[in-house]
Amino acid sequence: MSTDTELPKEGKYIYGIIRSTGNIEFGPIGIGKRADLVYGICFRDISAIVSNSPIIQYEARRVNMTAHEKVLEAVMEKFTVLPVRFSTISEHDDDSGIKRILEKDYVKFDDMLRKMEGKKELGLKVLAHESAMYEGIIEKYDAIRSMRDKLIHLPVDKTHYQRMKIGEMVAEALKKETQAYKKIILDLLTPVSEDVKINDNYGEMMILNAAFLIRNISEPVFDSAVNQLDEKYGKFMTFKYVGTLPPYNFVNLVINTKGI
């Protein structure tokens, strides 16, 4: 009597591409619950970082995304890495299929590694302090302050329209101020970066959500610039500085594993 509970076939999960020759291992840190060995498969002077894996579509849950990222972080301790899209799995269960992928796209991988060599991604999120920002707006914008002072002792129910008007004026001023601060920050940090990716903000109090591609030798200069901004504007905003990251925002590596 047959059942339909066959286990999925085995393949190779691909995490990233590095410049390396010879055998290399990173320990039993593969994605999933099996703790598969993560290792390199080499073609010429580049290697794919892989582990054994069932051929499944991994859900984009925190546990899986974190496992993928932890492998890349371990690789980044010694190598420049081109991160491969999450849940990329070769249907070959031996190294030869991966070597064919590296051979087919060798020129592309080689070129991308040259462009990323000696560089890293640093993330920066800048969040406004709500109370300090609003106080600054009241102090700076005479029309808002004057209208607020006139209404401050009047009944709320009789000044509904005027208070709504103040709210609109404050919202417009906040937008203007956050854009001005964003420009100040980018004007200082962009010249010491190789590239900048501006990501979407979430919430009206976020001033900037950006990734910066930095040369390793420029990191102290970049750090100093962020510290300078924090010292000058720390009253009004928080600088959340994240690094070192795989260059997710500057490398979009999609590997076709079909038919190879």
Cα 243–246–248 angle (5° rounding)?
110
Whether 95 and 199 share a structural domain: no
The mean pLDDT of the chain is 87
Looking at the structure, do residues 43 and 136 belong to the same domain, yes or no?
no
- Provide the residue range defining the domain that includes 51: 10-117
Does 3 reside within a domain?
no
Are 34 and 56 in a shared domain?
yes
pLDDT at 75: 94
**pLDDT value at 11 more than 60:** yes
Instruction: Judge whether 1 lies within some domain.
Output: no
Non-local (6+) Cβ contacts of 124 within 8 A are: 185, 189, 208, 209, 210, 211, 212, 226, 239, 240, 241, 242
Query: Which whole number is the average pLDDT over 98-121?
Result: 93
Tell me, what CATH number does 127's domain have? Answer: 3.30.70
Within a domain: 220: yes
- Cβ contacts of residue 126 below 8 Å, gap of 6+? 181, 182, 185, 206, 207, 208, 209, 237, 238, 239, 240
Q: Is the pLDDT of residue 67 over 90?
A: yes
Least confident of 10-14, 82-86, 144-148, 206-210: 144-148
Residues 43 and 10: their CA atoms lie apart, in Å, by: 22
Tally of domains in the chain: 2
What percentage of the chain has pLDDT greater than the value 70?
A: 90
pLDDT at 201: 84
Using the 3D structure, point to which of 68, 97, 117 is the last residue of a domain. 117
124 shares its domain with 91: no
Residue 48 confidence (pLDDT) above 50? yes
The confidence score (pLDDT) of residue 157 equals 65
103 and 39, same domain (yes or no): yes
Residues 105, 145 within the same domain: no
Same domain, residue pair 59 and 103: yes
Q: Are residues 85 and 181 in the same domain?
A: no
Contact yes or no for 103/109 (Cβ under 8 A) = no
User: Looking at per-residue confidence, does 194 or 167 come out higher?
Assistant: 194
Which of 54, 85, 117 is a domain's end point? 117
Predicted confidence (pLDDT) at residue 232 exceeds the cutoff of 80: yes
Is 257 a domain residue?
Answer: no
Q: Are residues 65 and 142 in the same domain?
A: no
Cα 185 to Cα 201: distance, rounded to the nearest angstrom? 15
DSSP bridge partners of 19: 46
Can you tell me the distance from the alpha carbon of 247 to that of 106, in angstroms, rounded to the nearest whole number?
19
pLDDT, greater one: 169 or 251:
251
- Token digits of residue 66: 């974190």
53 pairs with which residues across the strands? 11
In a domain? residue 169: yes
Q: Do 190 and 94 share a structural domain? A: no
Task: Say yes or no: 52 and 132 in one domain.
Answer: no
